[in-house]
Amino acid sequence: MIDPRRLRILRAVADHRTVTAAAAALYLTPSAVSQQLAALEQETGHALLTRSGRGVRLTSAGEILLGHAHEVLAQLERAEAELAAYAGGASGEVTVVAFATGIAEVLAPVIARLGVDRPGIRLRVRDAEGDQSLPMVLDGEADVALAVEYRGGPGADDVRFSVLPLYAEPFDAVLPPGHALADHPTVALADLADADWVGQYPGNPCHDVTLLACESAGFAPRFTHSSDDFRAVVALVGVGAGVALVPRSALRGMDLKEVRVRPVTGPSATRRVFAATRRGAESHPLLAPVLEALLRESSHLRRD
């Protein structure tokens, strides 16, 4: 009989590519993870991992078992959800991990609404970008991720997640006041090909969005300054350090007197935001109201 707890460990190793990283994500020691994997290999009668450089990769038998692990773990999530619904109490803590603008624009209003509509549900918020938040959901550190699509991120067919699309928003061009295009009503990205750029660090989903939009316009942006804080980006543009693309919702509430904000024509950058849970957990009586509230509170961004 295969122990489902060991299937979780196998999936963590497949996700993190090293025993040490998987152990850290699961709050176990590397030796404990190795022991559980060795026991799983004994249970199945197959070698499941092989060395690959400094990490490990799954063998063919390991890949077969991983496919079943996704289904088994999703079914266990559904079982827990149904038992929780049967018990009848939608009361407890839900950990939501989200990027900064998502917290301000969507998650904070959700906390306020649930405090009135579902006072038994307590939200615990953690700040992280999508490339960090989704692994946190898989590893059990978080229940829900509010994340942005990014290059290399999970696709719609990823069997590990249940994904709820929330909204898509455009990036606007942010220009110094003295820029040649500052007084134009709109800006074509191709006209910014020769400019210095202020952008996010590689790994930030917004960096990928900007790169892809510029590539579609026929050029690679020359990033001179980098910051993951949009206020810092706008401040740098304001002193003439370069141009930038910034998600429209991130500009709300900022002091924009020193910059010019213009819509982008032609190939444009778009941030697509979604909520993700472990597959099978979306119907849990604690999580379903949170997902519904996220969808409802993001409606103004969908309209925009």
Terminal Cα-to-Cα distance of the chain (whole angstroms): 53
- 109 lies in the same domain as 173: no
Confidence band for 114, pLDDT divided at 50, 70 and 90: very high
Q: Indicate the range of 81-85, 87-91, 125-129, 200-204 predicted with least confidence.
A: 87-91
- 147 lies in the same domain as 290: yes
**Helices and strands: H and E segment counts in the chain:** 11, 13
CA 103 to chain centre: 12
Render pLDDT for 227-243 as a digit per residue (tens, 0 to 9): 999 999 999 999 999 99
Please state whether beta strands 92-98 and 121-127 pair in parallel, antiparallel, or not at all (unpaired).
parallel
Render pLDDT for 288-299 as a digit per residue (tens, 0 to 9): 999 999 999 999
Residue 165 has pLDDT above 90, yes or no: yes
Question: How far is residue 285's CA from residue 120's CA, in Å, rounded to a whole number?
Answer: 11
pTM (global) more than 0.85:
no
| Mean pLDDT score, 100-126 | 92
Q: Is the dihedral of CA 8, 10, 16, 20 positive or negative?
A: positive
- 158 lies in the same domain as 277: yes
- 263 lies in the same domain as 277: no
Whichever domain contains 67, its CATH number is 1.10.10.10
Q: Token digits for 267?
A: 């190939």
Confidence band for 198, pLDDT divided at 50, 70 and 90: very high
- 177 lies in the same domain as 254: yes
- 144 lies in the same domain as 190: no
Whichever domain contains 195, its CATH number is 3.40.190.10
Choose one of 82, 112, 131: the last residue of a domain: 82
- 289 lies in the same domain as 247: no
What was the pLDDT predicted at 181?
94
Question: How far is residue 60's CA from residue 201's CA, in Å, rounded to a whole number?
Answer: 36
Nearest Cα to 125, choosing from 149, 139, 104?
104
Render pLDDT for 240-296 as a digit per residue (tens, 0 to 9): 999 999 999 899 889 999 999 999 997 778 889 999 999 999 989 899 999 999 999
- 121 lies in the same domain as 239: no
- 45 lies in the same domain as 120: no
- Domain span holding position 60: 4-82
Torsion of CA 29, 32, 93, 107, to 10 degrees: 60
Q: Domain total for the chain?
A: 3
Question: How far is residue 160's CA from residue 179's CA, in Å, rounded to a whole number?
Answer: 46
Choose one of 26, 49, 82: the last residue of a domain: 82
Question: How far is residue 296's CA from residue 290's CA, in Å, rounded to a whole number?
Answer: 10
Render pLDDT for 1-49 as a digit per residue (tens, 0 to 9): 888 889 989 999 998 989 999 899 888 999 999 999 999 988 998 999 8
Confidence band for 89, pLDDT divided at 50, 70 and 90: low
Q: Return phi, psi of residue 56, to 5°.
A: -135, 160
What was the pLDDT predicted at 218?
93
